[in-house]
Structure 1
């Protein structure tokens, strides 16, 4: 009896695979058609009805006023530092330093970001979460890198030669007419090549983005798990009026 059942199972199994093979359809021609997604495509009323409450909720969150900016923050109003760059670098220092201190028991010495990473101005008037998405549309996280004096010297050389106002914070840099440093202050102290510094930036730049290869000479990396954009939003939330101007943190003498 057992052998009969076994033979029956084998027969059914073979029959099943043969049947599948016989019914397998192999296309002999494949065609493709390009469909443009534009305003000419009519929306589905049922889909519109379904997503409307979600859209309205998202717009409410994005457009709710969080703070007030007293004047336009732009990234072309200074030679080596700008109102927008100073605003962004300063808030990164303020928002990320408590996280770094809690994890490592140390403080961030200074901040370096990239000029091209600022994608929109912050216009005078009310600001909200949508403003933060416009300024920083990328999913970049704040990281803190440990760098020795030689690596920081390479960083300073890059800043002097780049010809762009890359955002910095907690530094005071002065160049002479020839582009050589006459003053380098970091965290209120003269630059010391024998010291280790903790530098806040973002995960894109520490991988060498925007030609910032000096970050690859790092000793360690601490991830804050904190998006730059979220830092902007949190900064908006705790401020009433925001101001930022071109100052003397990075200048060149005539």
Structure 2
């Protein structure tokens, strides 16, 4: 199917090239001229009846899978609900730990200390009501993979300073950052313990952030492992195993009055 569709779309999406060639006794061919035209892929493009007829059964089957209820969300959640941490961000950080840690531990014998994702990676909210696979794709449309990094104490300090400087609801789990009203540090703990600059911390993130996305340069040079698990798939697997989504804003990151 993909070959037939790919060929059809190729005619629509790409330029038509006319190659005028010359030949000689040695049968060598030479490119002498290239011309092209453009076909815009937009709402004005007419559908191709044969293609529509071919893909319709597959689309119906896919839509049925995408719209099947996996779980239930009682309260609407969006990434901008609160400034420092949000229910939907806390949900995603928890899911990465809950779904990813058993795989990582089975391979290394180690637990994950913290999870860190990015606010911008949440691409849609979750309205109250049935939770479907389609919703997971809308929240996480990218193919980012869970990536586990080993950060030194100094790198962890950079990570913490990054979050303090940005003051944004980047999803994280396993850590608490409490600031005073003047932005001085009131409390910072990792797994309920003060930061130890002499130890190594296991941080679950995604491959985009590990590679410096969102200016998270503190991951640079850190040993890492991919566990072959896309975050979106982890979200779908979590939705399938819980009856009701229950997440709240808490005090993992806050500024005191």
1:101 maps onto 2:105 in alignment? yes
1:207 maps onto 2:211 in alignment? yes
Please report how far the alpha carbon of residue 42 of structure 1 lies from its aligned counterpart in structure 2 after TM superposition: 3.0
Q: Please say if residues 111 and 201 of structure 1, whose CA atoms lie closer than 8 Å, have aligned partners that are also in contact.
A: yes
Residue number among 72, 76, 88 corresponding to 1:72 in the alignment: 76
Pick closer, same or farther for the CA change 1:34–1:217 going to 2, 3 Å: closer
Q: In the alignment, what sits opposite 1:128? A: 132
SS in 2 for 1:188: coil
Please give the per-residue CA displacement for 1:75-120, whole angstroms capped at 9, x wherever unaligned: 1122211111111111111111001100110000011111111110
TM-score (norm 1): 0.87
Q: In the alignment, what sits opposite 2:27? A: 20
Pick closer, same or farther for the CA change 1:209–1:25 going to 2, 3 Å: closer
Q: In the alignment, what sits opposite 1:145? A: 149
1:92 maps onto 2:99 in alignment? no
1:3-82 aligned at under 5 Å gives the runs 18=25, 20=27, 30-82=34-86
SS in 2 for 1:242: coil
Q: In the alignment, what sits opposite 1:194? A: 198
Please give the per-residue CA displacement for 1:106-163, whole angstroms capped at 9, x wherever unaligned: 0000111111111100111111111111111111000110111111011111110112
The structure with the largest helix share of the pair is: 1
How many equivalent pairs are there? Answer: 235
Q: Please say if residues 151 and 217 of structure 1, whose CA atoms lie closer than 8 Å, have aligned partners that are also in contact.
A: no
Q: Which has the higher contact order (CA 8 A, sep 6+)?
A: 1
Please report how far the alpha carbon of residue 246 of structure 1 lies from its aligned counterpart in structure 2 after TM superposition: 1.1
Please report how far the alpha carbon of residue 217 of structure 1 lies from its aligned counterpart in structure 2 after TM superposition: 4.7
Flag structure 1 segments of 5+ consecutive residues without an equivalent: 1-15
1:253 maps onto 2:241 in alignment? no
Q: In the alignment, what sits opposite 1:4? A: none
Pick closer, same or farther for the CA change 1:147–1:39 going to 2, 3 Å: closer
Q: In the alignment, what sits opposite 1:3? A: none
Residue number among 158, 165, 168 corresponding to 2:169 in the alignment: 165
Pick closer, same or farther for the CA change 1:20–1:61 going to 2, 3 Å: same
Q: In the alignment, what sits opposite 1:5? A: none
Q: In the alignment, what sits opposite 2:227? A: 224
Flag structure 2 segments of 5+ consecutive residues without an equivalent: 1-22
Q: In the alignment, what sits opposite 1:237? A: 240
The 1-side partners of 2:30 and 2:208 are apart by 48
The 2-side partners of 1:127 and 1:205 are apart by 27
SS in 1 for 2:79: coil
The 2-side partners of 1:203 and 1:161 are apart by 22
Please report how far the alpha carbon of residue 25 of structure 1 lies from its aligned counterpart in structure 2 after TM superposition: 7.9
- Select the structure of larger CA radius of gyration: 1
